[in-house]
Amino acid sequence: MLLNELLKNTDVLEMKGSIDIDIRGVTYDSRKSLPGYLFICIDGFATDGHYYAQQAVDNGATALVVEKDVSIIGEATIVKVADTREALANISAQWFGNPSKEMKLIGITGTKGKTTTTYMVKSILEKAGDTVGLIGTVATCIGNEKIPARRTTPESYDLQETFEKMRDKGAGTVVMEVSSQGLKLKRVNSCDFDIGVFTNFSKDHIGGFEHPDMEDYFNSKKKLFRLCKRAIVNIDSPQGEIIAQEAKCEIYTYAIEKEADVRAKNIITHSDSVEFECITPWFTDTFKVSVPGLFSVYNSLAAISICGLMGIEPQTIKEGLLDVQIPGRAEVVPTPGKPYTVMIDYAHTPDSLENILTTVKDFVKGRLISVFGCGGDRDKSKRPAMGEISGRIADFTIITSDNPRTEVPSEILIDIERGIKQTEGKYIVIEDRTEAIRYAMGNAKKDDIIVLSGKGHETYQIFKDKTIHYDEREIVENILREEG
């Protein structure tokens, strides 16, 4: 493809060299640059791609896109733009033929509920006979093919490449999680969103490598609603009300507490599911979803709104919600022959921890045993808040480690302990997560439920000097095997 075709939607500030050259590939990693390639210099968190411009040229790149001045030895066209991240998104879409325009693209943003809602929509649309692509925290799925996810919202080049694969494999719809970072870093620019969804908003992702404050976090979320044709918004969230008021596109609202286009009433919670009546502009019917809790109703309302807007019949939506399986979300781990239950959940914020513990507390017949930690290099204010929540709700808490990263694990546990000491909750501190799980299982009694929070679908544990394989399903299975 000619360079001038790739730059069709990109504002060029300066140009050195010829624009009428054939480009054989596009990359933002200088190590992957080959003869005839276009290398786009991205100024990232860890390093600056402009430092590697010469390496890219030495590897054969015939053109560079930059936002800073670079000096190179050799011949290469240099294209200067205001923002190389925006250029990467636009150029990537051009390179792959704008594949998102050939499918229905649904983007879901919010602090919580993104993963669950995407899986619900995928389950429903597959019941309707559609081939569905899914992009998110747990994995990228193309039909039945599953690819582990590296980040919730991939870099724009990788995202457009994934869209192309999904299109070529016959996907009619792609449903994806759109992270605040993905929006802030313009990874989803040039994506043709048919529907944008806002689930909720609470404190998360505040830190040196993420958002400096809540205002930046929320402003990043709002960007999705300048990119989509239609929006679906939870107006029980105050921030959802703001989005509904500010969005310029067609808006549909959902809620439990407030009057909305899509609303749930007569909610009945069971130990393994939740039922409710749903009133929509398209139909009124009763639904049952195989994930318990009020938060599950909200996620279901988002999925029902999306599918109702797409013209899916209520019976198909019922079947999809009943059969949906969400990895690491209120997931029960088999414990054959044991009188207790082990559940894993991705809850890693105060709100999500309170949601899962409150839900389980409503139906547990024995004790609720909470096992959780907090990630290192993340918002420290969450730690005492989560300690207070677990101490207040659970019958017994085991404070442990969870992705300490570069921080000293024991110091994270002290922060959590400050919160739990504000309650009368019984607790113990066991830094090693496997030992914490072993202690919980060894001391559990009949009808107890052990909730392992924080890891969910994750299969790793991140330390300062290494990342190890760590799947809580396997940990539970190994402990059961040791017990005989």
Average pLDDT over residues 221-233: 96
Q: How far apart are CA 379 and CA 416, in angstroms?
A: 12
- Residue 255, domain CATH: 3.40.1190.10
Q: Are 180 and 295 contained in the same domain? A: yes
Kindly indicate the confidence band of residue 143, based on its pLDDT and cuts at 50, 70 and 90.
confident
Q: Are 178 and 303 contained in the same domain? A: yes
Of the candidates 100, 312, 350, the residue with the CA atom closest to the CA atom of residue 200: 350
Give the per-residue pLDDT at 217: 86
Q: Are 180 and 163 contained in the same domain? A: yes
Q: Are 280 and 370 contained in the same domain? A: no
Asked if 258 contacts 246 with a C-beta cutoff of 8 angstroms, the reply is no
- Residue 356, domain CATH: 3.90.190.20
Kindly indicate the confidence band of residue 203, based on its pLDDT and cuts at 50, 70 and 90.
low
More confident residue, 52 or 138: 52
Q: What's the predicted TM-score (pTM) here?
A: 0.89
Q: Are 211 and 316 contained in the same domain? A: yes
Q: Are 230 and 156 contained in the same domain? A: yes
Q: How far apart are CA 81 and CA 85, in angstroms?
A: 10
Q: Are 230 and 255 contained in the same domain? A: yes
Give the per-residue pLDDT at 379: 86
Q: Are 114 and 186 contained in the same domain? A: yes
Residue where one domain finishes, among candidates 40, 60, 95 = 95
SS3 for 99?
helix
Residue where one domain finishes, among candidates 295, 323, 351 = 323
Average pLDDT over residues 418-422: 98
Give the per-residue pLDDT at 214: 81
Residue where one domain finishes, among candidates 95, 119, 141 = 95
Q: Is the pLDDT of residue 211 over 70?
A: no
Q: Is the pLDDT of residue 265 over 90?
A: yes
- Structural domain count, the chain: 3
Please state, in angstroms and as integers, the Cα–Cα distance from residue 280 to each residue in 52, 118, 190, 321, 342, following that order.
Answer: 54, 20, 31, 16, 36
- Residue 35, domain CATH: 3.40.1390.10
pLDDT digit string, tens, across residues 436-448: 999 999 999 999 9
Q: Are 43 and 180 contained in the same domain? A: no
Of the candidates 430, 375, 420, the residue with the CA atom closest to the CA atom of residue 395: 420
Q: Are 349 and 452 contained in the same domain? A: yes
Segments forming the whole domain that contains residue 193: 99-323
Give the per-residue pLDDT at 210: 67
Q: Are 309 and 342 contained in the same domain? A: no
Q: Is the pLDDT of residue 204 over 80?
A: no
pLDDT digit string, tens, across residues 18-47: 989 999 999 999 999 999 999 999 998 778
